[in-house]
Structure 1
Amino acid sequence: MAATEADPLLLLRQSIASGGAIIPTTTADTSGNAPEVSLSNATHLHFTHPTRIAIPIDAPTRFESNGSPVDLRSIYFAWLNREVAIPEYNDSATKLNDELAGSSTVHKFAFVERLDLITWLEGASEESEYIKPLTGDKDGGQASGAATATATSKTALASSSARAGRGTLDPRLAQIYGGERRMGDRNTVLRGVKPTDFSHVRKLAQPFMSRKPNPTGTSVAMNPALALNQKPVRRPDPIILLSPSASSLLRMSNVKSFLENGRYMPPDHNSTTSMLHVSRMMKDIDASRPMRFILVEGPEQFKPEYWNRVVAVFTTGQAWQFKNYRWSNPTELFRHVAGVYLGFRGDQPPEAVRGFGHRVKTCLIDKYRGDGNTPGADTGRWRDREVVEEIWREIEQSMRAKGWRKDAAPSSI
């Protein structure tokens, strides 16, 4: 069986894309009669598409967290709980670990790890900094000398089958073809048939890489030859923080339609969504492709470096919103990040928002009066788009001032 066919991560992604059944069971039997059980009791995960196969549920995958591979059970559990908030996900993982009673442990993904995994499984992204390439990929090279020998025998078989419809290749000639000496690639020529693991060099180089670069030294800019072996750095997604206050006009349930479609609808306070993506073309930053923004209501799962990616904070003026922020003082916060207050036209903004001054953009929309089925309801919300464009202009101006570019993000704000 090919490596790609038996790879747990790839099988899971293909099954999700095709809508194939994924069944946790207690047997490796793939006849279709195995009953479905809970993840705490399952020993195998059955896939029905693109091939019917059973993979041990504790099998390690190519997704690595802190240098260690994450097992298939943790990957599938994270996918099942992709829509729930981070605290609920952590509570569910703790409950499952209690049910496993020490026989195994479900890995709890960090905020960005979980986002990266779900994005890759959905097919929205073709790359992930946490997923190692498959053996045989252009970055992977040959796995071992046995792989080379297998490739040789497959070449002879392919040569024989290539004559299908024009006669069968003589067995003796096929044997001669099988004994041909194959040319080596750059991996086998430089390192032999067994790849050398240089991952330890990264730890040794980390103290030097973390130092501030010397602009007058030998940099990539001064020596273009160094850039030939440099992999392009992926620009991180900017982050927008919403107010978790119940009085906020924008919550996770209605912010996507407002910022993307330019139409305001009242929020659904029963929504449990913890994270969203919106796309927006920022022509003055990158005119070739839209930028993807991450929307969250709180920084509870933030690492310190995530704050350099925050580009806007929506606020209602309530000071408790900033309690867990990097800058808990609103005056200091809005020196680093663009602030936005959204209210109804005709209502006076709160005193706290007015006290923030010009650092917080005040935007007003028409009051929502109904869905159009009630006589006299306001259905022509054409001015909402004008307000949305005003908000995006404020965010884009702030991003340009902070150093956001087509292929780079600021290292500090």
Structure 2
Amino acid sequence: MQGQSMSETSLKGKESYPMIDSAEAAAPGRAVDDAKICLQGSLDPEKVKGKIVVCLRGTSARVAKGLTVLQAGGAAMVLANDAASGNEIIADAHLLPATHIRHSDGLTLYNYLKSAKSPEGYLEKPETILETKPAPYMAAFSSQGPNPVNPEILKPDITAPGVSVIAAFTRAMAPTELAFDERRVAFTSMSGTSMSCPHVSGLVGLLKALHPDWSPSAIKSAMMTTAIDVDNKGESILNASLAPAGPFAYGAGHVWPSRSMNPGLVYDLGPDHYLDFLCALKYNATVLSMFNGEPYKCPEKAPKIEDLNYPSITVVNLTASGAMVKRTVKNVGSPCKYKAMVRQPAGVHVTVSPDVMEFGKKGEEKTFEVKFETKNAKLAKNYAFGALIWSNGVQFVKSPIVVKTAA
């Protein structure tokens, strides 16, 4: 089995060590359920001394479980994911030899522990492995759609690296950020959306330096429309359980910095577009003035939420009468011709008009319409996904399409 770890220590020798399920090593007076997840003080030293202890993920911090094993005299720890954590594993700076394994591997290991008369195992010292496959795949902790407030706007927008990211770290605290950990390091590995955010923020800064005339929305569009939605095996990006993910997991896809430098076309937005969006949400003049600093008059014809000039297209409650949305793109590249290609959502037919647009100069804008018609409403009643791609043969300006029928 292959897990992940940043343990600095390793097992002595090359011989196998006895292994034990932590649930079989509960300390006197402690619940088996506590021992199963290796809560503090839950293990019996007489049962775990010198052994590799298998702990289940959950409730307490991953590194804290290792401390529980260490304090009880255990030689090493295998941390197995519970069903909720799936196959997402994280390289932590453990206090003892340890590894973190997937839920599927954990099931196999627990079966071995139950069936073997004298179970044994060995943990190799962690080493760096490059070009792993598949990658990227979605972390279990990543927030997912649909948008609970305005389902007509796809969320998330995009995804970026956020698992086991190595970076400089403060010496004011331990790499685990736990009070009992006295170690101080110059670099460590961390995971979370707080690791993805700096990647995207840094890219925004680079794009702004490269294109100082681009608006924030143009920069967002450049990142979203050039993102990739397949992994390094050329297959759909997977979730933490290694099942196919989708736009509700990764938005437009995984950020591709080099491509975002030259997107070809962008979906731009200004303050008035967002104010019209608030008008579509029925915000009154008093509330609008709080955003605008002065009174703002909504258009006489009420705007539609789905017409916000976003780099993704979402239609909810599609009926037999169909739906139409509008988008405007700005040419930020050389003069050229773009042709529309549609990856059709299941049960829905999508057409684009016009499906060919020719731009004669940089900064030129053109508007197009996207028409949605139901073919088999039942196939899209729980959302169906597709994509609109504008291409000039070199650049591919991709927008995810999300559709939910009223059926």
- Shorter-chain TM-score range: under 0.3
For CA contacts below 8 A with separation 6 or more, give which structure has more relative contact order: 2
Higher helix proportion (structure 1 or 2): 1
TM-score norm. by structure 2 comes to 0.26
**Whose strand fraction is larger, Structure 1's or Structure 2's?**
2
Which structure has the larger Rg over C-alpha atoms? 1
